[in-house]
């Protein structure tokens, strides 16, 4: 990422980012590293306050974080996954096994897992290292976004009622405000296209973290945290995925099950405290080891998340504004690519804006953001669909389709054929991990703006 060739008029563009999630933080860091020096991130929460949960950090995510200079710090307490095992939840019998050791050699980075707080914290630390360029405004909700051919604007509403709301005008507005994005709603309204209704997936997730100490009296559970392995236990309409994080001091467990609680009381709420008995009942027919594992969750600490997505949007860009991450492509978690794709968005936005001509006009910014959309939209939406398809295959009940799926698992044992759990399939991994979206973006802007940026001369992959 060059910082020397950018014209001062480009460097000083006023860029506002709505939301300090993985997408917003990476946008800020990538833009600052590219040389932009007037970046403000608005976050409605009073601090970063990230979910206590693990996250898979695939090579396509790691490659970008490395270029941004934060990967070494994140990698320090990450766990490298060497294998994945897909098992029958009811019996713990192994259905499929995939060796992941080849990934580092093939894609330059291993498949790792870590704690969300570490990932977000190190992105934030990276931003703090650029404090002359990036400003954070916490406890402030952005509303009433306006677009159009000139500068976008919005109303910033501080949570502290003694500070009145104020208008903000900027050269570039990035809506990284998650699945419930105000920016998306306003943008679609402005473009007079149908609001993309948030779709109910009918699925919810428990997210659980057990400490090594909690597992210590159970040798079978200790063996799980000590392995370099991600395990998925599957059953009809449900599964559990689990892996060790934080240098194997924490075992991270994430489930998917039919949504009962949120469906019964639909609201804007996405998380709820659940009853431990309800959680144990959902996995009632899973094997005894899983019961012992779930039983370690203290009563009162069962937290359930609603899983929501929305239909693909007609566009992610309006004038000098663009959507990023879950605001434009929320996904079911079954490909473990939601944050990775938000991070790809952010990296590509920096590449396209970095290539703007001197004294850029709103039309140039719009052109750059349209290139961002072209590079990113189809890929991100393909992965959203793959995640949904993978969930459907994993959650099959008795019947022909399940028989076919289990034949695929059986063939896998002989080393043949596709993996029904799509994220573990080598061909899918090639498409996800083997594509360098920053190079593709650099090539695309080079064609548009005729200014070489990453030095590519033929269409990269």
Ligand X SMILES: Cc1cc2nc3c(=O)[nH]c(=O)nc-3n(C[C@H](O)[C@H](O)[C@H](O)COP(=O)(O)OP(=O)(O)OC[C@H]3O[C@@H](n4cnc5c(N)ncnc54)[C@H](O)[C@@H]3O)c2cc1C
Residues of this chain that bind ligand X (CB under 6 A): 18-24, 42-45, 55-56, 141-142, 176-178, 182, 205, 207, 254, 305, 307, 325-327, 333, 336-340, 342
Closest CA to 320 of 180, 178, 169, 181: 169
* Residue number, 182 or 429, with CB nearest to ligand X: 182
Min dist CB 201 to ligand X, Å, is 10
For residues 344 and 338, what is the distance between their CA atoms, to the nearest angstrom? 10
* Residue number, 22 or 356, with CB nearest to ligand X: 22
Could you tell me if 184 and 220 are in contact, meaning their C-beta atoms sit under 8 angstroms apart?
no
Alpha helices in 166-230 (DSSP H): 182-190, 212-215, 219-226
Closest CA to 428 of 371, 389, 401, 460: 389
Min dist CB 28 to ligand X, Å, is 11
Min dist CB 183 to ligand X, Å, is 7
Could you tell me if 29 and 68 are in contact, meaning their C-beta atoms sit under 8 angstroms apart?
yes
* Residue number, 318 or 364, with CB nearest to ligand X: 318
Which SS3 state, helix, strand or coil, does residue 454 take?
coil
Min dist CB 44 to ligand X, Å, is 4
* Residue number, 36 or 423, with CB nearest to ligand X: 423
Min dist CB 63 to ligand X, Å, is 13
Bridge-based pairing of strands 94-99 and 83-88 is antiparallel
Q: Which structure tokens are listed for 337?
A: 């690519």
Which SS3 state, helix, strand or coil, does residue 140 take?
strand
Min dist CB 281 to ligand X, Å, is 20
- Token pair 């054929």 is found at 417
Min dist CB 40 to ligand X, Å, is 11
Neighbours of 72 (CB within 10 A): 10
* Residue number, 221 or 335, with CB nearest to ligand X: 335
Min dist CB 403 to ligand X, Å, is 29
Could you tell me if 71 and 119 are in contact, meaning their C-beta atoms sit under 8 angstroms apart?
no
| CA distance readout (Å), 313 to 237, 254, 310, 329, 368 | 27, 28, 8, 8, 19
* Residue number, 177 or 354, with CB nearest to ligand X: 177
| CA distance readout (Å), 149 to 38, 77, 192, 374 | 21, 46, 15, 20
CA dihedral 211, 216, 218, 223 (to 10 degrees): 80
- Write out the H or E segment, with its range, that includes residue 123: helix 116-128
Count of residues in the chain: 461
* Residue number, 119 or 438, with CB nearest to ligand X: 119
* Residue number, 309 or 454, with CB nearest to ligand X: 309
* Residue number, 122 or 364, with CB nearest to ligand X: 122
Q: Which structure tokens are listed for 250?
A: 């924490």
Q: Which structure tokens are listed for 157?
A: 């509403």
Min dist CB 18 to ligand X, Å, is 5
Min dist CB 2 to ligand X, Å, is 26
For residues 36 and 13, what is the distance between their CA atoms, to the nearest angstrom? 7
* Residue number, 95 or 327, with CB nearest to ligand X: 327
């Amino acid at each position: 990422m060059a910082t020397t060739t950018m014209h001062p008029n480009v460097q000083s563009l006023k860029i506002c980012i709505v939301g300090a999630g993985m997408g917003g933080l990476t946008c800020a860091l990538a833009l600052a590293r590219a040389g932009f020096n007037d970046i403000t991130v608005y976050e409605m929460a009073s601090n970063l306050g990230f979910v206590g949960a693990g996250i898979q950090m695939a090579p396509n995510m790691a490659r970008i974080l490395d270029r941004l200079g934060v990967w070494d710090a994140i990698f320090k307490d990450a766990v490298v996954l060497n294998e994945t095992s897909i098992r029958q939840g009811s019996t713990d019998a192994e259905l499929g096994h995939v060796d992941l050791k080849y990934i580092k050699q093939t894609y330059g980075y291993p498949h790792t897992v870590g704690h969300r707080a570490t990932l977000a914290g190190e992105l934030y630390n990276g931003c703090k290292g650029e404090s002359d360029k990036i400003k954070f405004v916490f406890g402030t909700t952005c509303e009433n976004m306006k677009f159009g051919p000139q500068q976008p604007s919005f109303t910033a509403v501080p949570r502290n009622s003694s500070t009145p709301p104020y208008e903000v005008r900027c050269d570039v507005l990035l809506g990284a405000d998650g699945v419930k994005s105000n920016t998306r709603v306003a943008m679609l309204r402005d473009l007079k296209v149908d609001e993309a209704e948030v779709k109910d997936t009918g699925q919810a997730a428990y997210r659980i973290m057990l400490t090594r100490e909690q597992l210590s009296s159970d040798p079978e559970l200790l063996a799980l945290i000590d392995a370099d392995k991600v395990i998925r236990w599957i059953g009809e309409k449900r599964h559990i995925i689990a892996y060790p994080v934080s240098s194997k001091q924490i075992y991270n467990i994430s489930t998917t099950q039919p949504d009962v609680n949120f469906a019964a009381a639909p609201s804007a709420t996405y998380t709820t405290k659940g009853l431990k008995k309800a959680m144990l009942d959902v996995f009632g027919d899973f094997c005894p080891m899983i019961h012992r594992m779930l039983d370690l969750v203290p009563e009162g600490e069962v937290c359930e998340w609603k899983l929501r997505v929305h239909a693909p949007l007609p566009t992610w860009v309006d004038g000098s504004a663009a959507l990023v991450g879950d605001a434009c492509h929320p996904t079911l978690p079954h490909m473990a690519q939601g944050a990775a794709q938000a991070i790809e968005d952010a990296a590509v936005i920096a590449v396209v804006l970095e290539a703007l001509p001197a004294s850029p006009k709103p039309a140039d910014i719009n052109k750059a953001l349209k290139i961002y959309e072209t590079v990113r939209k189809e890929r991100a939406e393909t992965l959203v669909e793959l995640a949904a398809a993978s969930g459907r295959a994993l959650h099959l009940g008795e019947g022909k389709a399940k028989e076919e799926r289990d034949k695929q698992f059986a063939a896998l044992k002989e080393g043949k054929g596709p993996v029904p759990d799509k994220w573990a399939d080598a061909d899918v991994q090639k498409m996800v991990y083997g594509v360098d979206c920053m190079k593709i973006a650099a090539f695309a802007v080079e064609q548009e703006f005729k200014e070489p940026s990453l030095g590519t001369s033929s269409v990269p992959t």
